Structure formats: structure tokens, C-alpha cells
Amino acid sequence: MKFVVFFVATFLVASQCYGASFRSFPLQMPTGYGDGASHDDVRCASWRLAVESLNIQSFETIPEECVAYIANYIEGGQYQSDSKTANQQVFFYARELQVQDNDVVIFNVDGTALSNIPYYSQHGYGSEKFNSTRYDEEFVNKSDAPALPETLKNYNKLLDLGFKIIFLTGRLTDKKAVTEANLRKAGFHTWEKLILKDPSNNQKAQEYKVAERKKLMQQGYRIVANVADQWTSLRGANKAIRTFKLPNPMYSIQ
Ligand SMILES: *[C@@H]1O[C@H](CO)[C@@H](O)[C@H](O)[C@H]1NC(C)=O
Ligand SMILES: *[C@@H]1O[C@H](CO)[C@@H](O)[C@H](O)[C@H]1NC(C)=O
């Protein structure tokens, strides 16, 4: 009899525990995304965090089930807010420094200074495989990209503080004229240098940027900050004193 009571009691307790956790899971997801959050939203938010924190180091296209999530992220205000927070931190850091004559802040171009959302919104927010010919034809060569608003604000504040700006891009040197024209049109009216990649240079993105930063240091510049949306622009040797990662869940450059 004792044995039976114990068994029944155990069963009741276990089923209550199971019942409680089972009930709370699908009804109330602690996501912060509100009642309308789907399982894809939750999974894709995790995926995006993994990309931004470099737990995912490279991907060719975004997961198919995350296209709607990424589109909402980009167009819905969160992307701009994340971009603002990152750029503000650059400024909060920079304004505490004693500016020296040779102090520079490096900005990447695509996805950092210039917004390529107009292109990516037409190409599945990163769900289509990247086609560099198409990107050059429809985007780069048009010289019509808008500034990322928060980067432009930050750029102007950094200039006011007395920092020099260097743009360091993986765009090839044959894009120099269109890139200069686009930067000016978007509101970036001055810079110390615009560094583009020689077509004969077959270094990968990170290696190329590390080498260019080394040259800048050898030329006597102090790189106080390096701002980019790709980890390959920020990682590796010859680092800036601080690096700042802008959001970009749409593609990964290697
Ligand atoms: C890349 O884009 C170009 C120009 O639009 C097109 O001609 C070419 O077929 C595309 N390549 C692939 C692999 O889709
Ligand atoms: C883009 O412009 C450059 C420089 O004028 C040119 O060499 C290149 O062929 C153009 N690319 C495309 C895809 O139109």
C-alpha cells in the first residue's frame, strides 16, 4: 500500500511539473518581441546575435526562414537604433581623448559609411548569393548610396573634435572616382585618405586591412578607432586602440 501511495504521489508531482513547464513554454516566450513573436523570430534573433558576436564566423546567405525577420530588423527601426548606439559609443570614447595631430578614425565604406540597404532590400536582405558584378553595376557604379545616418552624424562630430578620417575599403581602385563622388554626395565632405584595394592584390579582406593599418602606423598615424560592420575589418594585428562593430546581419565578408 505504501508503495502504491508513493508511486501515485510521485506521478502526480511529476505530471504537475511537466504540465507547468509545458504550459508556460509556448504561451509566453521571454523574447521581448511581444505576443506576436514566432518561433522563427526567436531563432533568427539568436542567429543574428551569433553573427554579431562572431560565434558564427562566416555565412554565404542568411537562413531562408530568417528573411522576414531580417527585413523587419533592418526596416523596422532596430537596425538604425543599433547603429546609433554603436556610433554614439565611438563618440563618447573619442571625446575623452586628448586629440593629437596624427590621430585618425578609420571607417569602412559599404555598410558602414554608405548604406547598401537600397541594394540588399532588392536582393532578399542577404538571402541571394552575392554577385559582385551585379553589385558593382546596380550599386557601386551608380554613386547614389545614401549615408548611414548615424555614421554621418558621428563622422561630423569626430571632425569637430579634431580627428582625421580615413576610409578603408575593399572596393578596388577602379572604383575610386565613383566612391569619392558617392561619399561627397552622401555628405562625407572631407577625408585624410581613401584607401582602395589594388586589383592585383589577392589578399583576403582581413589580411588586406591589417596590412593597410600597418602602413598607416608606419606613416605615423595613431589609429584611435576603427569602425566597421564586418569583423574582417576589425580583427587581426595593427589594431586601433578601440574597434567598434556596426550591425550587419545580411552578409559576411571573408
Ligand atoms: C551576376 O550578375 C550579372 C549582371 O547582372 C549577370 O549577368 C550574371 O549572370 C550573374 N551571375 C550569376 C552567377 O548569377
Ligand atoms: C564599374 O565601373 C568601373 C570603372 O568605371 C568599370 O571598370 C567596371 O566595368 C564597372 N562595372 C560594372 C559591373 O559595370
Q: Are 123 and 139 in contact (CB under 8 A)?
A: no
Q: Determine whether the shortest distance from the Cβ of 160 to ligand 2 is under 6 A.
A: no
Question: Alpha helix (H) ranges present in 76-175?
Answer: 78-94, 117-120, 132-138, 149-161
Q: Determine whether the shortest distance from the Cβ of 173 to ligand 2 is under 6 A.
A: no
Ligand nearest to the Cα of 141, by number: 2
Query: Both ends of the chain: CA-CA distance in Å?
Result: 69
Cα(100)–Cα(42) distance, integer angstroms = 46
Mean pLDDT in consecutive groups of 10 residues from the start of the chain, 254 residues: 49 44 44 70 97 97 97 97 98 98 98 98 98 98 98 98 98 98 98 98 98 98 98 97 98 97
Ligand nearest to the Cα of 139, by number: 2
**Which tens digit of pLDDT belongs to each residue from 206-239?**
999 999 999 999 999 999 999 999 999 999 999 9
Cα(86)–Cα(133) distance, integer angstroms = 31
Closest-CA residue to 250 (of 123, 156, 145, 138): 123
**Which tens digit of pLDDT belongs to each residue from 30-65?**
455 666 678 899 999 999 999 999 999 999 999 999
Query: How far is the centre of ligand 1, averaged over its atoms, from the C-alpha of 119 (Å)?
Result: 15
Q: Say which residue the cell 555628405 belongs to.
A: 187
Query: How far is the centre of ligand 2, averaged over its atoms, from the C-alpha of 178 (Å)?
Result: 9
| Closest-lying ligand 1 atom to the alpha carbon of residue 131 | 1
In CATH terms, the superfamily for domain 42-245 is HAD superfamily/HAD-like (3.40.50.1000)
C-alpha cell at 150: 548615424
Query: How far is the centre of ligand 1, averaged over its atoms, from the C-alpha of 132 (Å)?
Result: 8
The helix/strand/coil state of 223 is strand
C-alpha cell at 229: 560592420
Cα(252)–Cα(254) distance, integer angstroms = 6
Q: Determine whether the shortest distance from the Cβ of 181 to ligand 2 is under 6 A.
A: no
| Closest-lying ligand 2 atom to the alpha carbon of residue 140 | 1
| Closest-lying ligand 2 atom to the alpha carbon of residue 174 | 4
Query: How far is the centre of ligand 1, averaged over its atoms, from the C-alpha of 105 (Å)?
Result: 36
What residues does each domain of the chain span? 42-245
Query: How far is the centre of ligand 2, averaged over its atoms, from the C-alpha of 137 (Å)?
Result: 7
Cα(44)–Cα(33) distance, integer angstroms = 12
Nearest CA to ligand 1 atom 13: 131
pLDDT at 2: 54
Cα(231)–Cα(253) distance, integer angstroms = 8
Nearest CA to ligand 2 atom 2: 141
Nearest CA to ligand 1 atom 6: 134
pLDDT at 186: 98
pLDDT at 38: 83
| Closest-lying ligand 2 atom to the alpha carbon of residue 136 | 13
